[in-house]
């Protein structure tokens, strides 16, 4: 079984960014589970996931460790490992590297606007070619949080 967001939280972010969230059509609530066959037959144009550093709670976690202390190389390695999972690896969106991981903790944060920006730019690069989510995040850190912007909060797959 695979966890997916429904109409709330990241499902709403995807819809706001101009995407179609599979879970929004399946679940009235914020989330639910689907089987692998449902995912494969839906033929998603893109595959989005959340990630954070779960290692202190789950030693065996293979999740993409995004966040303030993220290591970019480890995050990319984990993303590639998740993309190579049996079943998921047959999706055209995976084969075409149309995969984006977004910091999980943005689900409940005023900084979630940057998740929406990153998703919008990922899904519609031509439409949002002038949008720079990282520059916007850096500006908010500098102007309002008075802290340097550091970390990795979204990561798009790249061909190996």
Question: Residues near 21 by Cβ (< 8 Å), separated by ≥ 6?
Answer: 4, 5, 6, 7, 10, 11, 14, 15
128-136 contacts at long range (C-beta below 8 A, 24 or more positions apart): none
pLDDT for 49? 96
- Give the integer Cα–Cα distance in Å for 147 and 88: 39
pLDDT for 28? 86
- What region does 62 belong to: left with phi over 0, alpha with psi -120 to 50, or beta? alpha
pLDDT tens, 96-153? 999 999 999 999 899 999 999 999 999 999 999 999 999 999 999 999 999 989 999 9
Name the residue ranges covered by the structural domains of the chain: 43-156
pLDDT tens, 21-77? 999 999 888 899 999 999 999 999 999 999 999 988 988 889 999 999 999 999 999
pLDDT for 29? 86
pLDDT for 23? 92
- Give the integer Cα–Cα distance in Å for 36 and 21: 16
pLDDT for 35? 93
Residue 1 in this model has a pLDDT that exceeds 90: no
pLDDT for 69? 94
pLDDT for 20? 95
Cβ distance 102 to 87 under 8 Å?
no
Cβ distance 53 to 66 under 8 Å?
yes
- Give the integer Cα–Cα distance in Å for 72 and 69: 9
pTM for the model: 0.94
Radius of gyration of the chain (CA): 15
């Amino acid at each position: 079984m695979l966890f997916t967001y429904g109409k709330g939280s990241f499902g709403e972010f995807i819809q706001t960014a101009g995407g179609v969230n599979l879970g929004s059509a399946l679940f009235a609530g914020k989330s639910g589970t689907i089987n692998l066959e449902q995912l494969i037959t839906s033929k998603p144009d893109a595959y989005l996931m959340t990630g954070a550093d779960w290692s202190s709670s789950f030693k065996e976690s293979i999740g993409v460790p995004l966040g303030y202390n993220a290591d970019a190389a480890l995050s990319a390695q984990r993303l590639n490992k998740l993309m190579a999972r049996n079943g998921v690896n047959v999706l055209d969106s995976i084969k075409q590297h149309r995969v984006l991981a977004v910091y999980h903790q943005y689900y409940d944060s005023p900084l979630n606007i940057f998740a929406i920006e990153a998703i919008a730019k990922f899904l519609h690069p031509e439409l949002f070619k002038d949008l720079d989510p990282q520059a916007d995040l850096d500006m908010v850190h500098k102007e309002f949080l008075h802290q340097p912007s550091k970390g990795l909060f979204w990561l798009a797959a790249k061909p190996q």
